[in-house]
Structure 1
Amino acid sequence: MGKLNLYRIPLLMVAASLVFYGSFAYQLERSDFIKLFSLYAALFFLFYKLVQLNAGNFKFLLWTGIALRAVFIFSIPNLSQDFYRFLWDGRLLVQGINPYLSTPDSFASLGMTGIHQAQTLIDGMGTLNAGHYSNYPPLSQGIYALAALLAGKSILGSVIVLRVILIAADIGTVLFGKKLLEKLQLPAHHIFWFFLNPFIIIELTGNLHFEGVMVFFLVGALYFLATKKWLWSGVFLGLSVATKLIPLVFLPLLLPYFITQFPTKAAALKKLIIYYITVLATVLVLFLPFLSEAFLQNFGKTLSLWFVTFEFNAGVYYLIRWIGFETVGWNIIGTVGTILPVITLLFVLYLSLFRKAASIRQLIVLMLLGMCLYLLLSTTVHPWYLTIPLVLSLFTRYRFMLVWSFMIVLSYAAYSPGGFQEHLWLVALEYVVVLGYFIWEVKNHAMQSHGN
């Protein structure tokens, strides 16, 4: 009875969270932003208090996170259509068809032979997705195929398989994250700012975004790096890239860290080259079954769309776009979209060549800064893109990503009953709050360091 009284408030908070997640999973329409925001805000408050009040009870928080994810098991994602494309690619692969060589629309024009529920999947993914080639890397494709293989013709069955895999990946991230936090002499409960975060539960478990698998391998790579298991780290980073390509941006940032880990620069560079070869060989082996000239053209064509065509919830880019309209009278995304990634690359190279990273914590700070600048300059920032910087921030003293993981919900206001229409004042509010908090943190940490 004593234990029950001790856990009464946390259990009531968990019960309320279960009810709210149930409503989110089974009763919410994406266009109902008032309900979406209200549920999200309530869940975020409960999440914050649960971690704050139960920081010392690792098992309780772990099982709570698993229970909250289990609510979504039988639900169809309601905030994103991308999973229909995942199922499409997986069913193609099971039929022995290379998913990179045709768009769903072009495949449909040939009769869609052998793809069960083909029209349902095409209608579900939407015209934008159906009209472009797949850009999901091979490890993700393999998981989509596994779902098709295990679930057969059932859309819900495939969704359940993908969801179970993503939940397993999140648990793996907790286990690796706990070990890494302990290695860095940071509180182990910090990993629950990821695991119990409504942003993570909704976007990964709920909406089936495979950033969850990517982050599992990334955190594993960082843990093995911290324990100087170079080969395992390289393989895990390669698997992370083979799930989503974005961790490639971290490769140059390893230079300042490796230089501090070996007695001479020559020894460090030799080890770093071997590490790079391990990463790229892992990626290449997984891409190998799909490689062809047509694949390279199609894959590159789709990737370029994210820089010069698509626009959503952008930060600096929207400001530049407004200046473009005011000065030249048209949307300059075609020009700016190719310049902004170059600026990101130059910034990453600057961090690699002129900043120190004598420890894993310093390395992770560089990775966090590089990733945040990439997002700040991107033309498209979907909510689930924040997964990597949120996880990285947990191994640093910065908490602005927790603020962003709440503010990002404002981007869903663009999906209204009348159609898609972004509210730029909400986008501005999101970025002003996040950047303001980041600047305050930087100044606060600088003052503390100066005081010490």
Structure 2
Amino acid sequence: MGPRMNRRARGASLLLLGLLLLALQLVLRGRSSITAQVAGQLTAFALFLPAAWLCWRGLGLGRLGLALVLVLAVGFRAAAFEPGTSAPLSTDLHRYAWDARVAAHGINPYRYTPGSSVLVPLRDSTVWGGVNERTFHTIYPPGAEGAFQLARGVFGHGLRATTWLFLLAEGAAVALLIGVLHRRGDPLERVALYAWHPLAVSEIAANGHVDALAVLALAALLATWQRRRFALAGAALAGAILAKLAPILLLPALLHRRRGRFALTCVALTAVAYLPFLSVGVPKVFGSALALARRRNFGSLEPLLASVTGRPVAIALLLAALTLLVAFVALREHETVDELARTLLLLLGATLLVATLLEPWYALWLLPALVIVPAPGWLYLTGVLPLLYLNGLHDRLPGWVPAVLYLPLAGWAIWRVAAQRRLPRASLPSLPEPPRIVAIVPALNEADALPGVLEELSRQGLDEVIVVDGGSTDATAAVAKRAGARVVLEGGRGYGRACAAGAAACDADVLIFLDGDGSDDPACIPKVLAPVLTSSAALSLGARLDLEPGAMLPHQRAGNRLVAALVRLVFGLRLRDIPPLRAIRRDALDRLALREMTYGWPTEMIVKCARAGLEVAEVPVRSRKRRGGESKIAGRAWPSARAGALMLAVVIRHA
């Protein structure tokens, strides 16, 4: 009886909050007072937050809970939408209708400004009378222009024709997001984080902004990415770019050699959509958007920074920061829809912060991702951005508004970084007594060094030694067999691939990895094993702190220290080295699901242990010069640089 009553209480609470939100939308309906609208939207956001919390946790009412969310979402929009009237806080509807009228008369909408004498016969008091920025060519991309024409053809010539279309786009976006939630096994009521969000109700149903098309395209991107339909995902991203240009930043961030169809489809569709309009010249198609960006600076961090550095320097610094962020995000994993949603929030959220002009409805771009992953800081920003409308009262923004907008967001970001360094520790079962311990030695053309390494390993009391030959052209395999080691032949090149092949070939409880060149001293294995065997760590690293002369070249030491410092900064692990000599529990290794097949494999093991809450220990060991043969990395500039870049990329990818 208890759980059922609890579900009923949650459902009743959500219904009450929904009815209060509905009543508030009816009060705000058609009111053009900036003060009333801002106060109303902030009140609505305060009511929305507990509703969002309930829906995120799940009501436990099955389809009834989802039906409650959807019915009230439709009610909010019906209350906010007034057909036949202009928007209470924006004149953009007039520009949409004007562009559609121009196109309907066979004129390229990018050719003339609304103030051009050529278009005088098209003017009227209803549409043209409210057109903003009449001296600028249209700034809307071809996808938006096509939507304006479609709305005119289907819903008529009125100001609100586009709003009807945008409401349908919202419905499609909600359906796509429900599908994503269903495939993830999440509560379907979480779609309320979009469907009930006051910003979506106000800026689409009431003010009729074209950003609804970007919302639909981004929801489609999440849905198709989840299904790994990358060609369709490319089409979805093209749709987002053709509705609002900002999502173009996602293209370089999501590029990957395994997702060629994604990039090709996106670029091709975007180019094809622009081609018919380029006959008037590139400046007319893109120039007005750039000119408006140069002329207006409002709402974002750019005006704040410009007040200190001057506008040119501020813009240069922010563009550089955004470029670095795109490069950083491009190195991250995007295998799951969660990872994609976090990237959408990071890149599109950063775009809002650095844009020369920030309007409240731009934050609609973030809402589809907020349905998938929790991000309280970004959610807060989407709720308080209506404060920017206060600029309309005195043609300037009150000085306290930026602090209210951005200080809580900055505080959340700092907390988020700090929290990543304090992940809860995962527990593992006790090891068998005695545990089976196997050494894995990846080797490529190490016939000279391997005999000594294997002879030293034979004195360490290990249950088995496996040498993984990664395609040697010398006698590596034969030497290993003569020394009593089991040889695993791995045809594909790659340090990580060799280590993974060795691990897959045995049934050890604890695995020891060390290089086959003799630089790792087998006599240090007991020290490295100790934290794992005593269950004080899942992974133990043999940090090369006692160096034999010539054991590591200066660039090797510098590169390892840099990667270790980055791991320490991002994950809070107090490491001084990223060594090859390590011991790890088999159950921990299986949990990590390592995918890096090159020299980034040891780094991936460390950062994934940190992400999984698995304890990592570091013990100092002696490092020696290689005992024969030729190094594949040390002493060679390009291989060393490539290995270092791979290690850094792995840390960034999982940050």
Same fold (TM over 0.5): yes
**Inter-CA distance 220–116: structure 2 relative to 1 (3 Å threshold):** same
**Inter-CA distance 338–441: structure 2 relative to 1 (3 Å threshold):** closer
Kept after mapping to 2: 8 A contact 1:209/1:384: yes
Note the residue ranges of structure 1 that are not aligned, 5 or more in a row: 259-268, 325-331
TM-score (norm 1): 0.83
Cα displacement (A) at 1:150: 4.1
Kept after mapping to 2: 8 A contact 1:253/1:367: no
Aligned-pair Cα RMSD in Å: 2.6
CA distance in 1, matches of 2:8, 2:373: 35
Amino acid of the structure 2 residue aligned with 1:86:
Y
1:58 equivalent to 2:66? Answer yes
Q: What is aligned with 2:626? A: none
Cα displacement (A) at 1:441: 3.5
1:212 equivalent to 2:212? Answer yes
Cα displacement (A) at 1:219: 1.5
What SS class does the counterpart of residue 251 from structure 1 fall into? helix
Q: What is aligned with 1:423? A: 398
1:284 equivalent to 2:271? Answer yes
Cα displacement (A) at 1:133: 0.9
Amino acid of the structure 2 residue aligned with 1:215:
V
Cα displacement (A) at 1:213: 1.3
Q: What is aligned with 1:88? A: 98
Cα displacement (A) at 1:152: 4.6
Alignment of 1:304-343 (within 5 A): 304-315=290-301, 317-324=302-309, 332-343=310-321
CA deviations 1:84-106 (Å, max 9, x no partner) are: 11111011011111110111112
CA distance in 1, matches of 2:169, 2:156: 23
Cα displacement (A) at 1:341: 2.6
Amino acid of the structure 1 residue aligned with 2:172:
G
Amino acid of the structure 2 residue aligned with 1:223:
A
CA deviations 1:151-181 (Å, max 9, x no partner) are: 55533xxx0x322222221222222112223
What SS class does the counterpart of residue 243 from structure 2 fall into? coil
Q: Which of residues 63, 78, 82 in structure 2 aligns to 1:70?
A: 78
What SS class does the counterpart of residue 131 from structure 2 fall into? helix
Amino acid of the structure 2 residue aligned with 1:121:
V
CA distance in 2, matches of 1:132, 1:334: 23
**Inter-CA distance 104–395: structure 2 relative to 1 (3 Å threshold):** same
Q: What is aligned with 2:153? A: 149
Alignment of 1:229-248 (within 5 A): 229-248=229-248
What SS class does the counterpart of residue 268 from structure 2 fall into? helix
Alignment of 1:327-366 (within 5 A): 332-353=310-331, 355-366=332-343
Amino acid of the structure 2 residue aligned with 1:125:
V
CA distance in 1, matches of 2:193, 2:341: 17
**Inter-CA distance 111–396: structure 2 relative to 1 (3 Å threshold):** closer
Q: Larger % of helix: which? A: 1
Larger radius of gyration: 2
Q: What is aligned with 2:193? A: 193
Cα displacement (A) at 1:247: 1.5
CA distance in 2, matches of 1:232, 1:357: 16
Kept after mapping to 1: 8 A contact 2:31/2:88: no
Q: What is aligned with 2:412? A: 437
CA deviations 1:205-258 (Å, max 9, x no partner) are: 221112211121222122112212222222222122211122111012213xx4
1:130 equivalent to 2:134? Answer yes
Amino acid of the structure 1 residue aligned with 2:114:
P
1:14 equivalent to 2:51? Answer no
Number of residue pairs the alignment of both structures matches: 413
**Inter-CA distance 274–5: structure 2 relative to 1 (3 Å threshold):** closer
Cα displacement (A) at 1:61: 0.2
CA distance in 1, matches of 2:182, 2:424: 23
CA distance in 2, matches of 1:371, 1:8: 35
1:26 equivalent to 2:30? Answer yes
**Inter-CA distance 4–339: structure 2 relative to 1 (3 Å threshold):** closer
CA distance in 2, matches of 1:372, 1:382: 13
Kept after mapping to 2: 8 A contact 1:116/1:153: no
Note the residue ranges of structure 2 that are not aligned, 5 or more in a row: 60-64, 427-612, 614-655
